[in-house]
Structure 1
Amino acid sequence: MKRFLLLACLSGLLSLGCAAQPAATNVPEAIRVEVTGKKNGRPLLLVPGYVAPGEVWREIAAELGRRYQCHVVTLAGTGGMAPLTVAPGASYYATYARALAAYVQQHHLQKPVLVAHQTGGMMALRAATDFPELFGGLILLEALPAPFAVHNPRLTPDSLKLPAREQLLSRLVSMAQGTFLQQQQMFISTWATDTLQQRRLLGWAAQADRTTWANIVYESMTTDLRPALPRLQVPVLLLGIWVAGKAVKPDLTHAQVQPLFERQLAGAGAGGEVRLHDTAREFIMLDDPRWTLTNIEQYLAAHPSKR
Structure 2
Amino acid sequence: MSSTFLYGANVRANGIRQHYLRFGGKGRPLVLVPGITSPAVTWAFVAERLGRQFDTYVLDVRGRGLSETAPGMDYSLEACAADVGAFAQALGLADYFLVGHSMGARIGAIVAAHHAQGLARLVMVDPPVSGPGRRPYPARIDWYVDSIRLMREGADWEKLKPFSPTWTEAQLRLRAEWLHTCDEDAVVCAYHAFGTHDMHADLPAIAVPALLMVAGKGGVIEAADVDEIRSLMPGLEVRTVPTAGHMIPWDDEEGFFQGFGTFLGTPV
TM-score normalized by the length of structure 1 = 0.68
- Structure 2: 5+ residue stretches without partners: 1-12
Q: What is the count of residue pairs matched by the alignment?
A: 245
Asked if 1:271 is matched to 2:246, the reply is: no
- Corresponding residue of 2:10: none
Shift of 1:85: 5.4
Shift of 1:216: 1.1
- Corresponding residue of 1:100: 84
CA distance in 1 between partners of 2:36 and 2:134 (Å): 23
Shift of 1:195: 4.2
**CA distances 1:231-286 after superposition (whole Å, capped 9, x unpaired):** 1111221212132449xxxxxxxxx9333233234312x62132222222222122
Asked if 1:198 is matched to 2:182, the reply is: no
Secondary structure of the residue aligned to 2:263 is: helix
- Corresponding residue of 2:256: 292
144, 161, 164: which one pairs with 1:188?
164
Asked if 1:147 is matched to 2:130, the reply is: yes
Structure with greater Cα Rg: 1
- Structure 1: 5+ residue stretches without partners: 1-23, 150-154, 161-167, 247-255
Summarize the Cα distance change of 1:121–1:84 in structure 2 as closer, same or farther, 3 Å threshold. Answer: farther
CA distance in 2 between partners of 1:98 and 1:48 (Å): 15
7, 14, 23: which one pairs with 1:25?
14
Question: Looking at both structures, which has the greater relative contact order when contacts are Cα pairs under 8 Å and sequence separation is at least 6?
Answer: 1
Q: Amino acid of the residue matched to residue 34 of structure 1?
A: L
- Corresponding residue of 1:69: 55
Summarize the Cα distance change of 1:236–1:184 in structure 2 as closer, same or farther, 3 Å threshold. Answer: farther
| 8 A contact 2:16–2:68 mirrored in 1 | no
**Structure 2 matches for 1:4-19, cutoff 5 A?**
none
Task: Between 179-188 and 65-74, report the one with greater CA deviation.
Answer: 179-188
> What CA RMSD, in Å, does the superposition of the two structures yield over aligned residues?
3.4
Secondary structure of the residue aligned to 2:59 is: strand
| 8 A contact 2:217–2:246 mirrored in 1 | no
CA distance in 1 between partners of 2:42 and 2:151 (Å): 24
105, 111, 129: which one pairs with 2:113?
129
Shift of 1:302: 7.4
169, 181, 184: which one pairs with 1:207?
181
| 8 A contact 1:132–1:231 mirrored in 2 | no
TM-score normalized by the length of structure 2 = 0.77
